[in-house]
Chains A and B, each alone.
Chain A
Amino acid sequence: MVDLYPEYDDSVLVLNPLGRIDGTNAKAFEEALLGRIAAGDNQILMNFEGINYISSAGLRVLLMAAKRTEQAQGQLALCAVQDHIQEVFKFSGFSEIIPIHSDRPAALNSF
């Protein structure tokens, strides 16, 4: 299973996934993340510092999570995204719909 290394900063759930999010683990990633939202967490910050690869399968999970948190009057944000990953967020238009912050303190201020 994917370990999200969760922690709380006030009411914000900070998740710190590591490595890759691709077709081979997207399902597990989805279950872990949506499970958190289903359990009541809707203020979620994904710290992408440790993510060095994400494919469309991973983007799809982020999109689902962003929708669910929004439906729950919450928010999903990213921070510390590596440059080459950020590129894909831009290409895919995800950077327009999911807030991406440069670092964690900045991200936490936005909640």
Chain B
Amino acid sequence: MAGRIVGMISVLTLAGVIAAVAVLVLLAFDSEEDSGRRTAKVLAESVARSLLAADLSSLSDEEVNALIRINAPAADVDETDAVDLSYIWVFNAAGRHLAASAGARQIGRDEINPARAAMTPGAETVVESLPTGIYAGTAAIRAADGAAIGAVRVEFTSNQIGAHFDIYRTEYIIGVIALLVVLVLGSWFLARRLARPIGIMVQAARAVEDGRQPEPAIAASLRNTSLTRDEYGELAGVFLDMAREVGAREIRLNSLVEERTLELSEKNRTLEDTQREIRNDLEMAHSVQAALVPSDLPEDPRAGVAAYMTPALDVGGDFYDAFMTDDGRLAFAIADVSGKGVASALMMAVGRALLRSAANQHPDPSRAIASTNDQLCSMNPKELFITTFFGVIDLELGTLTYVNAGHDPPYIMRPNQAPEMIPLTGGIALGVLPGLNYTETTIPLDPDTALYLYTDGVTEAEDASGQQFGRDRLEGQLAEHATLGPQELMDTILADLRGFSGDAKQFDDITCMALRFVGGGALTDSYIPGQGDRRLASGWRRMVVQPSLESSLPRVTAFVERFAGAEGMDVGQIYRINLALDELLTNTLEHGFPKRVEEADISVAIRSEGDRVVVRYEDNGPEFNPLEAPGQDTELALEERPIGGLGLQLIAETFDEVTYERVDDRNVTTLHQSRASSNGEPDSDDSAFR
């Protein structure tokens, strides 16, 4: 705005300057003739005025010469030049010549006619430009009443004009320049005066716009301006009011913004806290889930287990489990809960706990699974389901009994054979329908048989191009590495899987388990002759017994019952064998290792020999022949019977044949029982020892 005003004033100034310059230019180009004529007029009239008072009739030539000096415009010009170059003639009212300057020529018509013309009433001074380069001016000498009393004629050469003219021109130029300076200064001052308050207001407005107070100098100027009574003063006053209002509004807005910012930051904090809580919850759920898959897998010389799980989300729905049942079998499971997240993880936790407890409650996997299914169905609001493979390996018998509840069939790698899928059992996933019966299948496990279980996160893992890992590639890997131990086999396949997936996103939980059944029998050669698969060739089933009655007795009992069930033995035969082993084990633990029970190495083996069942019990305690143990007289009356000492005696009574031998620092007791003599009457005469 101020710039525009200054510009407008500048334009006006420029116009003035241009006008002045034009005058100068006009002056510079003023023609010599015009100058001469103007000069002649001025000179003539000047001389005429000076002669007004003189008595023209008595005017002498000397006096006329003096007039020339007086009236010569160039007073400083050389006197001689002035005399030489200028002439004056004086005429009377009749036009007759009265006097002339020195050297002036005789006058004729050419001089008298202009004098008469000039003297006519109201006439102007006559100016002539003579062809000889001389300028002439003839002016009337007029009295106060305007009547011409005479005339005067001046002549000078054009040489004289330059001097006259230069003098005028210099004065003109100085005048014009002074005018220009005044004009420029004036307009600059004016422009400044007009523009300055606007400039100040512009700066103040910028300050207000930026939301800060105008600088003190600016504010002071603005206040000063507002005190003046012109339009600027009014504008400055209005501006100051407006600035105050804006400032007040700014403060209100600022406090409002602060308030809202505070609210927002509080909300943000709450949000962050909530988010942190959720994250903590998820992390806790994750660690809970990690704790729910067993980190310590069962260790047993007869079988190895390795398992792995990595969830796709923070919390997944897969699980695996492997544990020794209370009766000493190796139970294992792999499962995939439908869905993801906390609900699936909870379902997984419940499912795993139920299955583990059911596995100990029900020796048959089918019943354990059915029971787990019923309980899951009763507590499944989200209608999730769990595909499960559940198997139990009888490490003594070398069998796998399993149920597949809708899970991808695991692979079995028998020695020197290609991987095969373990046949389905036709069960549906757990949690779908209560009251279902599940079918179990039992398959023999040769020593050095490997199993590989997995969830679909393995086969459906994708590479960067979206191609799936697939069963074919998995089978190839299993075939190639079937002889590796479980941990190595699993690691190798996981490494191949990771190589396949690369940086591709993991969509599903990846869970897998590898097992290796080493062999049921660690029977020493001194007892079981033969090469190759000792267990299968000899028909022996053997178990190692832990030196604790509480933990071992149920296992021994279960071991015997499983063998007996397979052999179709009756309850009495089973009882007699269990009783014998119970008494032998109790005796060994009570007397065999009075100090260092942890050194005990006790085992039980059992097999069928024709129509007889043979049981071998051995321990590494000090030599002790149970056949020579002091027995009770079983015919004593109640009050005479001692308490105790009965156990070993019962063995002799209940078996057809009992032998004892000491081999390699081990006590070996062998019991024979005819399968036909199941309900044989007690006959002390036929008893094995007395």
Contact = CB atoms under 8 A, between A and B. Distances in A.
A59 B586 CA distance: 14
Given A87-B682, A91-B654, A23 B586 contact: yes
B230 interface: no
Contacts of B643: 60, 63-64
Interface stretch (A9-17, A31-39, A40-48, A49-57): A49-57
A23 B638 contact: no
Given A23-B582, A92-B634, A84 B553 contact: no
Interface string A76-91: 0000000111011011
Contact of A23 (B553, B653, B682): B553
Interface in A62-78: 63-64, 66-67, 70
Interface string B565-594: 000000110011011001100100000000
B55 interface: no
Interface string B540-583: 00000000011001000100000000000001100110110011
B650 interface: yes
A59 B637 CA distance: 15
B644 interface: yes
A70 B637 CA distance: 12
Nearest to A59: B646
B638 A67 contact: yes
A66 B582 contact: no
A63 to B, nearest CB: 6
Contacts of B578: 53
Contacts of B638: 63, 66-67, 70, 97-98
A76 B641 CA distance: 16
Most chain A Cβ neighbours within 10 Å, of B572, B635, B646, B650: B646
Size category of the B interface is 20 to 34
Contacts of A105: none
B472 to A, nearest CB: 52
B600 to A, nearest CB: 16
B549 A24 contact: yes
Main secondary structure of the interface of A (DSSP, over half): helix
Nearest to A54: B579
A101 to B, nearest CB: 17
Contacts of B682: 87, 90-91
Most chain B Cβ neighbours within 10 Å, of A23, A52, A63: A23
B653 A91 contact: yes
Interface in B279-301: none
B572 A55 contact: no
A88 B679 contact: no
B647 interface: yes
A22 B653 contact: no
A85 B550 CA distance: 22
B611 interface: no
A97 B641 CA distance: 9
Contact of B641 (A56, A63, A85): A63
Most chain B Cβ neighbours within 10 Å, of A63, A90, A91: A91
Interface in B627-649: 632, 634-639, 641, 643-644, 646-647, 649
A2 to B, nearest CB: 14
B77 to A, nearest CB: 159
Contacts of A66: 638
Contacts of A97: 637-638, 641
B597 to A, nearest CB: 15
Most chain B Cβ neighbours within 10 Å, of A24, A60, A96: A24
Contacts of B571: 52, 84
A56 B641 CA distance: 14
30 contacts: A22-B553, A23-B549, A23-B582, A23-B586, A24-B549, A24-B553, A52-B575, A55-B579, A55-B582, A55-B647, A56-B586, A56-B647, A57-B586, A60-B643, A60-B644, A60-B646, A63-B638, A63-B643, A66-B638, A67-B639, A70-B638, A84-B571, A84-B575, A87-B576, A87-B682, A88-B650, A91-B650, A93-B634, A96-B634, A96-B635
Interface of A: 22-24, 52-53, 55-57, 59-60, 63-64, 66-67, 70, 83-85, 87-88, 90-93, 96-98
The 10 closest A-B pairs by CB, nearest first: A93-B634, A56-B647, A84-B572, A91-B653, A97-B638, A84-B575, A56-B646, A91-B682, A90-B682, A55-B582
Interface of B: 549-550, 553, 557, 571-572, 575-576, 578-579, 582-583, 586, 632, 634-639, 641, 643-644, 646-647, 649-650, 653-654, 679, 681-682
Given A55-B586, A56-B583, A67-B638, 7 more contacts: A24-B550, A24-B553, A60-B644, A60-B646, A83-B679, A92-B650, A93-B635
